[in-house]
Each structure stands twice: as structure tokens, then as C-alpha cells.
Amino acid sequence: SAVISQKPSRDICQRGTSLTIQCQVDSQVTMMFWYRQQPGQSLTLIATANQGSEATYESGFVIDKFPISRPNLTFSTLTVSNMSPEDSSIYLCIGTENYGYTFGSGTRLTVV
């Protein structure tokens, strides 16, 4: 199965700044998704990263706040823009190929 390298693993950021998270897959995956896991809670889907086109966002998430890129089938980025303390969370990418799912290692973001 695929292996996803997610960076950074953690970061502490000032409010009002932006952070870009990267996921690199060692093989092509058909679909890539970005999730958020707030403290003590489950995983919430932010968006589906579409290769070469705009991501598909879930209700409550917008492109201006969470711009996503997916230039090819092995790489995607999520940017958390204009951060506030409420954005403190774990951000996770998940790739899937033929219904086999691979998780990134997660990015633990703290906004101060």
C-alpha cells in the first residue's frame, strides 16, 4: 500500500499568519482528502483535493480559508490561512486507491 509523508508534523503559529501543509505519496493515488481533527473529537472532512482543478469543499469550509492544491497524483498541499486559535487542530491527509486508504501522519497545529 502507499505511504504518505506529511510535513510539518507540528507547528506553533502566530494568529493572522498562514501555514502550508504538504502530503507526498510514494505512489499515485486516485483520491486525496484533507481532514481536521479538533482536540478530543473525530475527523471532519475539509475537502477533496482534485488533481489539476479546484478542490471540492464540504459545508462549512471555504477556499479562501483552506486553499488546496493538487498538481499531480502524488502531491497535495493544504494552507490554513489567517489563522486564529480556533484553527488549533490536527490536520490529516488521506489518500485512497481502489478503496484502500492510507493516512498521513498528521500535522498538529497550535495557533497562539
Write each residue from 50 to 89 as x if it is in contact with other proteins (CB under 8 A), else as -, in one continuous string: ---------x------------------------------
Task: Give the Cα separation of 52 and 73 in Å (integer).
Answer: 9
Task: Give the Cα separation of 68 and 63 in Å (integer).
Answer: 7
Phi, psi angle pair for 85, to nearest 5°? -55, -25
Q: Which is nearer to other proteins, 67 or 106 (CB)?
A: 106
Place of cell 483552506: 66
Q: Applying CB under 8 A, which of residues 25, 91, 104, 111 lies at the interface with other proteins?
A: 104
Q: Applying CB under 8 A, which of residues 2, 13, 31, 73 lies at the interface with other proteins?
A: 31
Is the distance from CB of 11 to CB of 106 less than 8 angstroms? no
Q: Applying CB under 8 A, which of residues 22, 48, 51, 79 lies at the interface with other proteins?
A: 48
Quote the DSSP letter at residue 104.
-
Q: How far is the CB of 81 from other proteins (least distance, A)?
A: 23
